[in-house]
């Protein structure tokens, strides 16, 4: 069995104690991290290695930044999502490890909708759909995981009315997200829990965590070759309740050997 988790840590430096506490408790084989908020040289590699993980990072000063941790060696494939001329954001890392093709994705937030950030998000989603189409042709077990910054349906949101008009819930964002499903990429959480209301993000503001006012925006999408091996999936709420927590919590799945 191989356990894969994705976690937007909202600064790897601020979250290192939480991460080092969570790794031996959750025992994931592969971890996809987002929002490192540091350059590669600032990544706490010694501590991660001491915890038993190889790692690859795509860092950026102050913003964005993604990484893959693995208990087995990691072979890099891509450090940028193809198709974005001049897009220098650190939002995509594609590797091979544990016999899987795995990507750590930090999709643009897209707010405010009236700014150029929203078309950037939609273009990024279009690029992801196009790239996924090519990846699926490899007919290999594949996991596209990360912070998609998309609320797929009303079930994934404490109050859909509160999110109408937001870039995370706009029809344009959700339509593009659904194209991944249509291509044959399975949502690892929703596939096994079709009716469950569960969230992966709670805003720092307004006591959102205390009132469970969350949204599900962190997703693991599986190719047919990976989905056929899906044994379990879930969302680990415990890290969100810790001191100095990220506003996101880990989402995970297990694939049979």
Partner DNA sequence: ATGGTTGCCTCGCAA
Q: Contact positions toward DNA, by CB under 7 A? A: 10-11, 13-14, 37-38, 61-64, 108-109, 111, 117, 204-206, 244
Residue 40 or 96 having the CB closest to DNA: 40
Q: How far is the CB of 60 from DNA (least distance, A)?
A: 9
Computed from CA positions of residues 121, 56, 229, 233, in that sequence, does the dihedral angle turn out positive or negative? negative
C-alpha 110/C-alpha 164 separation (Å) is 14
Any bridge partners for residue 137, and if so which? Answer: none
Identify whether the C-beta of residue 28 lies closer than 8 Å to the C-beta of residue 252: yes
Other beta carbons less than 10 A from residue 197's beta carbon? 13
| Closer residue to DNA (CB): 63 or 82 | 63
Helices (H), the chain: 12-26, 45-50, 117-136, 160-163, 171-183, 188-192, 224-227
* Least spacing, CB of residue 206 vs DNA, in Å: 6
For the CB of residue 11, give the shortest distance to DNA in the complex, in Å: 3
CB of 86 vs DNA, minimal distance in Å:
16
Strands of the sheet with 54-58, listed across from one edge: 54-58, 66-70, 30-34, 2-8, 251-255, 230-235
**CB nearer DNA, residue 9 or residue 30:** 9
* Nearest residue (CB) to DNA, 30 versus 235: 235
The alpha carbon dihedral of 85, 78, 188, 217 has a sign of negative
Rounded least distance, CB 194 to DNA, Å: 28
Comparison of 62 and 161: residue with beta carbon closer to DNA: 62
For tokens 């091979």, the residue is 96
Q: Which two tokens stand for residue 17?
A: 């104690």
How near is the Cβ of 40 to DNA at its closest, in Å? Answer: 12
Decide whether 13 or 133 has the Cβ nearer to DNA: 13
Closest CA to 124 of 172, 193, 194: 172
């Amino acid at each position: 069995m191989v356990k894969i988790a994705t976690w937007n840590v909202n600064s790897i430096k601020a979250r290192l104690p939480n991460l080092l506490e969570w790794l031996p408790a959750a025992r994931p084989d592969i971890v996809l991290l987002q929002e490192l908020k540091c350059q590669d040289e600032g990544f706490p590699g010694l501590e991660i290695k001491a915890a038993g993980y190889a790692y690859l990072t795509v860092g950026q000063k102050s913003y964005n930044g993604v990484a893959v941790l693995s208990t087995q060696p990691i072979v890099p494939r891509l450090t940028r999502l193809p198709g974005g001329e001049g897009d220098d954001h650190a939002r995509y890392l594609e590797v091979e490890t544990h016999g899987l093709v795995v990507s750590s994705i930090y999709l643009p937030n897209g707010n405010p909708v009236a700014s150029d950030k929203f078309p950037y998000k939609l273009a990024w989603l279009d690029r992801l759909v196009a790239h996924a189409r090519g990846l699926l042709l490899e007919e290999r077990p594949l996991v596209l995981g990360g912070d998609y910054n998309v609320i797929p349906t009303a079930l994934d949101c404490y109050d859909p009315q509160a999110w109408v008009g937001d870039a995370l819930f706009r029809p344009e964002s959700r339509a593009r997200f659904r194209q991944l499903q249509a291509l044959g990429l399975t949502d690892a959480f929703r596939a096994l829990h079709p009716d469950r209301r569960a969230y992966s993000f709670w805003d720092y503001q307004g006591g959102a965590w205390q009132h469970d006012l969350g949204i599900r925006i962190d997703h693991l999408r599986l190719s047919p070759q990976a989905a056929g091996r899906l044994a379990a999936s879930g969302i680990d709420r415990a890290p969100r309740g810790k001191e100095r927590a990220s506003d996101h919590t880990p989402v995970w799945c297990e694939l049979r050997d």
